[in-house]
Amino acid sequence: MDIHDLSPAPGSRRRRKRVGRGISAGQGKTCGRGTKGDKARGQTRPGFEGGQTPLHRRLPRLRGFNNIFRRDLNEVNVGRLEVFEAGAEITPDVLLEKRIIRKLRDGVKILGKGDLSKKLTVKATAFSKSAVQKIEAAGGTAVVIGSDGQERPAAAQQAPATGEPAAAEPAVAEETGESAESPAEASDESGEA
């Protein structure tokens, strides 16, 4: 067998149907599409439902969105911590044992509702400002447990950043800019003279 003897298997290749070449050709006039309607005239885009509101617009109506970064935290008010003895160390696991929370979920946030009269060391994922103030006013400490497991004081997290040095820098820059311009202006004036 030579290479010029090779050919496709019988029936595997068919000639292209030539439409629109007259009635006698068999596929003239309507070209095998029948009469009228979208299928005779062109293509309908995927998801089109004849003009009614399509499914992809009907279903998620006014439902908002899901924040993939949201943390599902248990919320515990400082007033609930009165059940512990003075000097106790409170962690999410301890709150679970005391049935103050039912599940650990993504952590615990301590809120400021209620009064606290005991010195406690409270370790949680997050604190409100008022909760930190009430814990520290009672002589205790609030410790934030980070996502990496490291602990840091909650007061440091709540401390506001002051912007006074940043405001002072432009004034210095303006002064140096003026001093840099004055010798140049002086040299221009001397050159003109």
Confidence (pLDDT) at 101:
94
Position 22: which residue type?
G
Per-residue pLDDT tens over the stretch 53-79: 999 888 866 667 888 999 999 999 999
**pLDDT for res 178:** 47
Q: What is the pLDDT of residue 38?
A: 85
pLDDT at 115 over 80: yes
pTM value is: 0.50
pLDDT of residue 163: 47
Q: What is the pLDDT of residues 10-36, one digit of tens each?
A: 999 999 999 999 999 989 999 999 999
Alpha carbon distance, N-terminus to C-terminus of the chain: 103
Q: Which is more confident, 152 or 64?
A: 152
Residue 62 confidence (pLDDT):
67
Whole-number Å distance between alpha carbons of 94 and 81: 11
> What structural domains does the chain harbor?
74-158 (3.100.10.10)
pLDDT at position 188, please? 53
Q: Output the six-digit token pair for 35.
A: 């009469």
pLDDT > 90? residue 134:
yes
Residue 171 pLDDT class (50, 70, 90 cuts): very low
Per-residue pLDDT at 57: 85
Beta-carbon contacts of residue 52 (< 8 Å; ≥ 6 apart): none
State how far Cα 76 lies from the chain centre: 26
Mean per-residue pLDDT for 148-157? 76
- pLDDT (0 to 100) of residue 160: 52
C-alpha distances (whole Å) from 2 to each of 6, 7, 166 are: 7, 11, 86
Identify the pLDDT of residue 166: 46
